[in-house]
Amino acid sequence: MIEGQDDITLVELAEFLRAEHAVVFAPSTIWRFLDRHSMTFKKNSARQRAGSARRARAATRLVQGPA
């Protein structure tokens, strides 16, 4: 399941662990474990592009005024 899914959520990971291994972890516990072991995944390039476009639109509105 995990290998085939690029963007699994912490909730989905917790459900997978419960179903496959009969262990129960809160998503926050999984997050702390992954974070402590530097196993985080952030979609930085996509997030930066979206943020840059959003900032550019906001700056354009400031200069031109409301539509």
pLDDT per position as a tens digit, 36-66: 988 876 665 655 555 556 566 655 555 555 5
Give the percent of the chain with pLDDT over 70: 51
Q: Are 31 and 11 in contact (CB under 8 A)?
A: no
Residue-level pLDDT at 40: 72
Averaged pLDDT for residues 25-43: 86
How much is the average pLDDT of 15-29? 94
